[in-house]
Structures are given as structure tokens and as C-alpha cells.
């Protein structure tokens, strides 16, 4: 008997930089750029700055709308952050963009000393966070949160979707002090509008409830967690999802209350290394407050240099696709 094996479509190089949106999923194009253009109409102190990546961080929309308020700094991330700090000292609110690997690794000392130590009003919106590109370790910012969490007074945002980004932009501008946002650019999924959700800086929010598993998540892993919750319904496994778009300061009150509300497997899902990210922040908070879940697992990226390749393949390989995460949760439940 001949067995017919269904072949998956061959992935092309473009899949290495593809949108994280699934096939047929609702998306919004350039939510960051559009939100910033809208906000800047009533906030003349807002300026846009980039390190030669306006088109690839959606800041080109701001440049087109306000050319006199746009600054192209060239491929010089240290200069970008240093100049942003200087502009903030003059009363402006710079929104600075580049790729997360370049902005954090290359310009860390400038962020630490020029911007954060003086609590300057710089908003850093850095693209390609975690495993959102297949171009290997040179472009995959899998340790950016770990680095930035170590900077005192720096607010860190890891938005899930277009709605999160749109609503975060004005709150970032209203917040007094430096902010780091992991930027999703291009065609960004739209998910959270189906869950009676609104972004609040510093707040975690439960999106769905369930009795067997609690997934605490940030970034697009909240989208994955919601998909897992839906998928595991077929196995009569109830999955609650607590979305934590603000990594620092962490909403410990809500997290502790949700963990204590009922005994469940607690899983922290994040598009970041298991070292130094949301998972370790949650674990530290639980232990320091005397809360010890019966079962606690981290569903993040491994402490390793990740492969290059097509994003769907890499998400499966490293356990952050919907199918892979579902399998991990079921295995942990035993």
C-alpha cells in the first residue's frame, strides 16, 4: 500500500523576515509609525530619530509627515542614543528607532550613562526583538530584555500586537523618563481587540481563564498563548492567559494574585532567552513573596546562539510556535 505524505510548502528566503502573522490573520500595517504621526500632531516636542532604518522601523511615515522633526543619524547607534539624550535635555521627546541588537548591544553604555542615569525622556523603539528574524545571532535580539532590565529606572514594554503598540505610544510619551519598547513593525497581527483589552503602562491583564494552566506571557507569545488555550480546549485542558506587556516595572500584585487564585501549572512564555527575561523576573517575584507554585516552567528561547533559517521552522525548533508550545504544556502537565 502506498502512503501519501503531504508535503509542506517549501519556504523561501523571504520567510526569514516574514511577518509573525499567521495565514489569513488580521493585521494592521505600521501601527507604530501611524500612532506616532497621529500623536505628534498635538505634541510638537516629539521628534523622530533613526540609525539608517526609518523604512524598516515604520518611522518613515513620521519622516514624511514631519520632515523638519526627523533626524537621520546614519549607521551610528551610539551617536543616535547620545544625540537623543541631548535633545531630551532641551525639552524634546525623541522617539529613537533601530534594530534591537544594534541599539542595545552597540549603544548600551550610552543608554546607561547618557539617557537613563539622568532619567531623560527618550523613547527607544527597537525592532526585530527575539526570534522575529531568521538572520541568525547578528540580528536576533534574544537577550535585550536581560540587558535592559539591569538599567535602573528604565521602563520596558513588550507589546503583543498592533493594538498594544497603538495604545502604548501615547502612554510612552506621557511617561516621564526613558522607555524601551520591543517594536513589531510592518504587518503586525491584531489580536487583543477581541478580548476587551486596553493597554495600561505597568499593568498585566488576564485575557482568558482556565483551571489547569496559567500562562504568563509578553510580546507575540501572548498571541501564541491564546492560540494554545484555544487548541487545548479540545483536550479539556483549561488555559488562562495573563498578558504582561510591561516587563519593568513588573505588575507583581496582579501576577501574585493570579498565581494564588487557584492551583495550576504556571508557564511563563516569552520571545526571549530563558536567562534574564520575564520568566526569571516572575520567578524572582514569586519566591521573594513566599509564593511557590506546585509546578513552574519557562517557555522561552534557549540560552544559546540560535540558528538562521525560515521563521516558521525556527519557531518550531525552539518551542515557541503554537503547535510546539501546546506540546510543551501538555508534556509538563504529564
Asked if residue 171 and residue 32 are part of one domain, the reply reads: yes
- What is the pLDDT at residue 177? 98
Q: Is the pLDDT of residue 1 over 70?
A: no
| Final residue belonging to a domain, choices 189, 211, 245 | 189
Residue pair 302/140 in contact by the 8 Å Cβ criterion: no
50 and 99, same domain (yes or no): yes
For residue range 97-131, list pLDDT tens digits in order.
999 999 999 999 999 999 999 999 999 999 999 99
Same domain? 55 vs 124: yes
Give yes or no for a contact between 123 and 172, defined as CB atoms under 8 angstroms apart: yes
Say yes or no to pLDDT of 2 above 90.
no
Query: What is residue 6's predicted lDDT score, i.e. its pLDDT?
Result: 57
**Nearest CA-CA partner of 65 in 91, 87, 46, 79:** 46
Give the mean pLDDT of 69-93: 97
Sheet holding 46-50, edge to edge: 70-72, 46-50, 93-99, 123-127, 179-183, 155-157, 246-248
The grid cell for 163 is: 493594538
Over residues 311-328, mean pLDDT: 97
Ranges assigned E (strand) in the chain: 27-29, 46-50, 70-72, 93-99, 123-127, 155-157, 179-183, 187-189, 205-208, 213-217, 239-243, 246-248, 265-273, 295-301
Q: How many domains does the chain have?
A: 2
143 is catalytic: no
Whether 49 and 111 share a structural domain: yes
pLDDT tens string 229-283:
999 999 999 999 999 999 999 999 999 999 999 999 999 999 999 999 999 999 9
| Direct distance between the N- and C-terminal alpha carbons of the chain, in angstroms, rounded to an integer | 36
With respect to residue 77, please indicate whether it lies within any of the assigned structural domains: yes
Note whether residue 1 is domain-resident: no
Q: What is d(CA 272, CA 278) in angstroms, rounded to the nearest whole number? A: 8
In this prediction, residues 203-213 reach a mean pLDDT of: 98
Identify whether residues 178 and 246 lie together within a single domain.
no
Burial of 201: CB neighbours in 10 Å, binned 0-12, 13-18, 19+: middle
pTM metric for this prediction: 0.94
Cis-peptide into 206, omega within 30 deg: no
**Angle (CA) 162 268 264, round 5°:** 120
Please tell me the predicted confidence (pLDDT) of residue 76.
97
- Do residues 247 and 101 share a domain? no
Average pLDDT for 34-53 = 98
Of 125, 159, 189, the one marking the end of a domain is 189
CA atoms of 250 and 142, how far apart (whole Å): 19
The CA distance from 221 to 218, in Å, is 6
Q: Which of 47, 180, 4 is nearest to 108 (CA)?
A: 180
Supply the pLDDT for residue 235. Answer: 95
Q: pLDDT band at residue 23, thresholds of 50, 70 and 90?
A: confident
Q: Outline where 211-267 has alpha helix (H).
A: 221-232, 252-261
291 burial level (CB within 10 Å; 0-12, 13-18, 19+): middle
Give the mean pLDDT of 321-325: 97
Last residue of a domain, one of 189, 221, 247: 189
Output the average pLDDT for the chain: 95
- Kindly indicate the confidence band of residue 164, based on its pLDDT and cuts at 50, 70 and 90: very high
Q: Which three cell numbers stand for residue 48?
A: 523622530
Same domain, yes or no: 174 and 293:
no
Tell me the C-alpha distance between 64 and 45, whole Å: 17
Same domain as 37, residue 185: yes
User: What's the CATH number where 168 sits?
Assistant: 3.40.50.970
Tell me, yes or no, whether 9 lies in a domain. no
Alpha carbon distance 79, 76 (integer Å): 5
Q: What is the DSSP string of 264-297?
A: -EEEEEEEEESSSSHHHHHHHHHHHTT---SEEE
My answer on whether 73 and 41 are in the same domain is yes
| Enclosing domain of residue 81 | 27-189
Task: Point out the catalytic residue in the list 68, 77, 90, 143.
Answer: 77
Q: Over the stretch 171-204, which tens digit does the pLDDT of each residue have?
A: 999 999 999 999 999 999 999 999 999 999 999 9
CATH code assigned at 315:
3.40.50.920
What is the reported pLDDT for 334? Answer: 87
Amino acid at each position: 500500500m502506498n502512503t501519501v505524505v503531504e508535503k509542506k510548502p517549501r519556504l523561501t528566503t523571504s520567510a526569514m523576515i516574514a511577518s509573525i502573522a499567521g495565514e489569513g490573520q488580521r493585521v494592521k500595517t505600521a501601527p507604530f509609525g501611524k500612532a506616532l504621526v497621529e500623536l505628534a500632531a498635538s505634541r510638537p516636542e516629539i521628534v523622530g530619530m533613526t540609525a539608517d532604518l526609518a523604512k524598516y522601523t515604520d518611522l518613515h511615515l513620521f519622516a514624511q509627515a514631519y520632515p523638519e522633526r526627523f533626524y537621520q543619524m546614519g549607521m551610528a547607534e551610539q551617536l543616535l542614543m547620545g544625540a537623543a539624550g541631548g535633545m531630551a535635555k532641551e525639552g524634546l521627546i525623541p522617539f529613537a528607532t533601530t534594530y534591537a541588537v544594534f541599539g542595545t548591544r552597540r549603544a548600551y553604555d550610552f543608554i546607561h550613562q547618557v539617557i537613563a542615569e539622568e532619567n531623560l525622556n527618550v523613547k527607544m523603539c527597537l525592532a526585530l526583538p527575539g526570534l522575529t528574524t531568521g538572520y541568525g545571532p547578528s540580528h536576533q535580539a534574544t537577550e535585550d530584555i536581560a540587558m535592559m532590565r539591569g538599567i535602573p529606572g528604565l521602563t520596558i514594554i513588550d507589546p503583543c500586537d498592533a493594538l498594544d503598540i497603538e495604545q502604548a505610544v501615547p502612554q510612552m510619551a506621557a511617561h516621564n523618563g526613558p522607555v524601551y519598547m520591543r517594536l513589531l513593525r510592518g504587518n503586525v497581527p491584531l489580536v487583543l481587540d477581541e478580548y476587551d483589552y486596553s493597554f495600561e503602562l505597568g499593568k498585566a491583564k488576564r485575557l482568558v481563564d482556565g483551571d489547569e494552566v496559567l500562562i504568563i506571557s509578553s510580546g507575540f507569545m501572548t498571541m501564541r498563548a491564546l492560540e494554545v488555550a484555544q487548541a487545548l480546549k479540545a483536550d479539556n485542558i483549561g488555559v488562562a492567559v495573563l498578558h504582561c506587556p510591561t516587563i519593568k516595572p513588573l505588575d507583581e500584585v496582579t501576577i501574585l494574585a493570579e498565581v494564588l487564585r487557584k492551583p495550576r501549572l504556571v508557564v511563563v512564555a516569552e520571545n526571549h532567552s530563558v536567562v534574564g527575561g520575564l520568566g526569571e523576573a516572575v520567578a524572582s517575584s514569586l519566591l521573594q513573596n513566599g509564593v511557590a507554585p506546585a509546578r513552574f516552567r519557562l517557555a522561552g528561547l534557549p540560552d544559546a546562539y540560535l540558528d538562521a533559517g525560515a521563521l516558521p521552522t525556527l519557531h518550531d525548533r525552539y518551542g515557541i510556535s503554537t503547535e510546539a508550545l501546546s506540546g510543551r504544556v501538555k508534556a509538563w502537565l504529564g
